[in-house]
Structure formats: structure tokens, C-alpha cells
């Protein structure tokens, strides 16, 4: 007797398409705000000349222009002190036309990053890194939430993937991605496990995941044998590979990858090996998955910040007048 093996190909969760949808919504919100005489504004501070940061920041500024958001880029040298940075941030906190302040990370080692992130007004903290916003998020209050984890939730919701009651496993416990992603999944009623570099028997946990979020920063770290067939895989990793043998190992018989690699001498891969995607129910590709959402969510946070702060300002002004 022949046995029927049903195979269903995995759904690709198209981050670029979802980001485009969100950006269109933001552009419509910007147009509405402009009718009320409000032009949302974002200030981005880029310290020194870290190549990757320059690329990210340029992309953020360009997206602002596309959506009608005013933006400003401040580019102090790598020699700037914490005190000088604090002065820059205080100036931006005080300016009414600036709704969002983003300090691109990482900062030079001599700069006190935690102190600076705490100096940003929580109302203008569009990265969601201020402890006040982290606290609001964890206590289920409206908060400016970190952009990458917020993007993950948007991908799941807009793709109709249920979160409530599911086992969500987050691998990685960074303040920027892992911890807030776990909190947001918990707020959406998933049963959440956070794994990290000291987790004993990681595959035991990842194999239980209905939703697996990989935010480790190591190419192809999550292998197919660590994944439950049919699971939803969210790959947050953006790793640049330059080793031809490693590219061949991760992408055997992938002509497009090989061609791109031959042309550029590198290729970008996530934290999940492509063989795992093949057995998943749905997955975010790299590139074109979670990464595409980060800037869209930053734009959305800027609008949220503009609406909240300016409404609060108007309310307190009318109270003063009354």
C-alpha cells in the first residue's frame, strides 16, 4: 500500500509588502496631521562613521521624506563626549517641531549609552528604549514600543497568524529585540519562553515552538532539526556572509544566491538556516522579512508620538487659557 505524504509548501511572510501597507497608512495619517497644521518631525543622531549605521540612518531619513515627515540628521564626530551628547538631546527634547528622537546604536565605547537613552524624553522616544516605555510595555499600558519587535507582531497579525494560546519561543534576550518581543507576544496571550546563550538543551525548547523568533546574530544558527514542522519562523538576523563554502552549505543549489554572491562577494543570511524554512508553515525571509518592517514601525511611532504629544500640548495650553 502506498502511503500518501501530504506536503504543503511554506508561506513566505513578505515583509516588504507589509511594510509598504504600513507606510501607506502612515502617509495618510501625515496628510491628515498636515491639515491640522502639524508636520511630524524626526531627529536622528548618528555618531561617527560606522558604515552599517550610516546605511540604516540614510534609509530612515529617505523614508521620512517619502512619507512627508520632516527629518533632521545630526552627525557629531566619534570623539563627542557623553556630556555633549546630553546637551544635543536636551535641545531636541525642548524643540516643539521634533516629535521623535532616535540615537543610532551602537555608540562609541566611551559614551554612556544607558544614560543617553534615559535622557530622551519618553514622549519622543520613538525607538522605545527608555525605561519608562519599557515599563509601560510590560505593564500593558500604551507605550512607544521598540520597532523591530513591533514589526514582528504586525507581520503575525496582518498575516492572520494567531498568537493567543500559541507556544512562542524567543531565542535572544537583547533589550532591543528579544526582551520586548517576548513581552509583546505575552501581551498578545502567547505562552512565551525566552532562550539565550546559557540555555541548556536549546533544541528541546525550540521544537515546542508554534512561533519561533530567532534574534541571535549568528548565521543559520537555528537548524531544521530544531524546528517543529509547520511552525511559524520569524528570523530577525541580518548577517553578512563572505565565505563561499558557508554560502554553498546554507544555500545548496540556489542559483540566485550564488549569482548575487559572485557579483557582490557577500550575501545576507538570517539566524535560521534555509532548510528549516522548507519544513515550516510560514517564515520571514532574509532579506525582505522583519528588517523591512523596522523603518515602517519607526515612522508609525513618530506619528504616534506626534499625535500624543501635540494633543497633550494643546490640552494643557487650553487648560492654561481656561
Using CB under 6 A as the criterion, which residues of the chain lie in contact with ligand GUN when the complex forms?
102-105, 127, 147-148, 176, 294
Instruction: Give the residue with the Cβ less far from ligand GUN, 174 or 199.
Output: 174
Cβ 56 to ligand GUN shortest distance, Å: 7
Q: Which residues pair with 151 in a beta bridge?
A: none
Could you confirm whether 104 is annotated as catalytic?
A: yes
Cβ 252 to ligand GUN shortest distance, Å: 31
> At a CB cut-off of 8 Å and minimum separation 6, what does 318 contact?
none
Instruction: Give the residue with the Cβ less far from ligand GUN, 52 or 90.
Output: 52
Instruction: Give the residue with the Cβ less far from ligand GUN, 176 or 190.
Output: 176
Strands 232-235 and 211-214 turn out to be: parallel
Residue 51 CA to residue 166 CA, distance in Å, equals 39
Cβ 119 to ligand GUN shortest distance, Å: 14
Residue 61, classified by CB atoms within 10 Å of its CB into exposed (0-12), middle (13-18) or buried (19+), is middle
Nearest partner of 13 among 196, 224, 178, 156, judged by Cα? 156
107 secondary structure, DSSP code: P
Instruction: Give the residue with the Cβ less far from ligand GUN, 63 or 104.
Output: 104
Catalytic residue among 104, 166, 179, 271: 104
Q: Is 132 helix (H, G, I), strand (E, B) or coil?
A: helix
- Per the rule left: phi > 0, alpha: psi between -120 and 50, beta: everything else, 201 is left
Give per-residue burial for 136-150: e unless 16+ CB within 10 Å, then b. bbbeeeebbbbbbbb
Could you confirm whether 127 is annotated as catalytic?
A: yes
Could you confirm whether 114 is annotated as catalytic?
A: no
Please give the residue whose beta carbon sits closest to ligand GUN in the complex: 105
Cβ 129 to ligand GUN shortest distance, Å: 7
User: What does the block give as the cell for 226?
Assistant: 530544531
Catalytic residue among 23, 60, 124, 166: 60
Instruction: Give the residue with the Cβ less far from ligand GUN, 105 or 275.
Output: 105
Catalytic residue among 99, 125, 127, 235: 127
Cβ 117 to ligand GUN shortest distance, Å: 9
> At a CB cut-off of 8 Å and minimum separation 6, what does 273 contact?
220, 221, 222, 223, 224, 250
Catalytic site residues?
60, 104, 127
Amino acid at each position: 500500500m502506498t502511503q500518501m505524504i501530504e506536503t504543503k509548501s511554506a508561506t513566505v511572510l513578505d515583509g516588504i509588502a507589509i511594510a509598504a501597507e504600513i507606510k501607506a497608512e502612515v502617509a495618510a495619517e501625515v496628510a491628515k496631521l498636515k491639515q491640522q497644521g502639524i508636520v511630524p518631525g524626526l531627529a536622528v543622531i548618528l555618531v561617527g562613521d560606522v558604515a552599517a549605521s550610516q546605511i540604516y540612518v540614510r534609509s530612515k531619513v529617505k523614508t521620512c521624506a517619502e512619507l512627508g515627515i520632516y527629518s533632521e540628521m545630526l552627525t557629531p564626530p566619534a570623539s563627542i563626549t557623553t556630556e555633549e551628547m546630553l546637551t544635543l538631546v536636551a535641545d531636541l527634547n525642548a524643540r516643539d517641531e521634533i516629535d521623535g528622537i532616535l540615537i543610532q546604536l551602537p555608540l562609541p565605547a566611551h559614551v554612556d549609552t544607558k544614560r543617553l537613552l534615559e535622557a530622551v524624553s519618553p514622549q519622543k522616544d520613538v525607538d522605545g528604549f527608555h525605561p519608562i516605555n519599557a515599563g509601560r510595555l510590560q505593564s500593558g499600558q500604551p507605550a512607544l514600543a521598540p520597532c523591530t519587535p513591533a514589526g514582528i507582531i504586525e507581520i503575525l497579525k496582518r498575516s492572520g497568524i494567531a498568537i493567543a494560546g500559541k507556544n512562542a519561543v524567543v531565542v535572544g534576550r537583547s533589550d532591543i529585540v528579544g526582551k520586548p518581543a517576548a513581552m509583546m507576544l505575552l501581551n498578545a496571550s502567547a505562552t512565551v519562553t525566552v532562550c539565550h546563550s546559557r540555555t541548556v538543551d536549546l533544541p528541546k525548547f525550540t521544537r515546542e515552538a508554534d512561533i519561533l523568533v530567532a534574534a541571535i546574530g549568528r548565521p543559520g544558527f537555528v537548524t531544521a532539526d530544531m524546528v517543529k514542522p509547520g511552525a511559524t519562523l520569524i528570523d530577525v538576523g541580518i548577517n553578512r556572509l563572505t565565505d563561499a563554502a558557508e554560502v554553498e552549505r546554507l544555500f545548496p543549489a540556489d542559483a540566485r544566491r550564488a549569482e548575487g554572491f559572485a557579483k557582490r562577494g557577500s550575501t545576507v543570511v538570517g539566524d535560521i538556516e534555509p532548510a528549516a524554512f522548507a519544513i515550516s508553515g510560514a517564515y520571514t525571509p532574509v532579506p525582505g522579512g522583519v528588517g523591512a518592517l523596522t523603518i515602517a514601525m519607526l515612522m508609525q511611532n513618530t506619528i504616534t508620538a506626534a499625535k500624543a504629544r501635540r494633543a497633550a500640548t494643546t490640552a494643557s495650553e487650553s487648560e492654561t487659557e481656561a
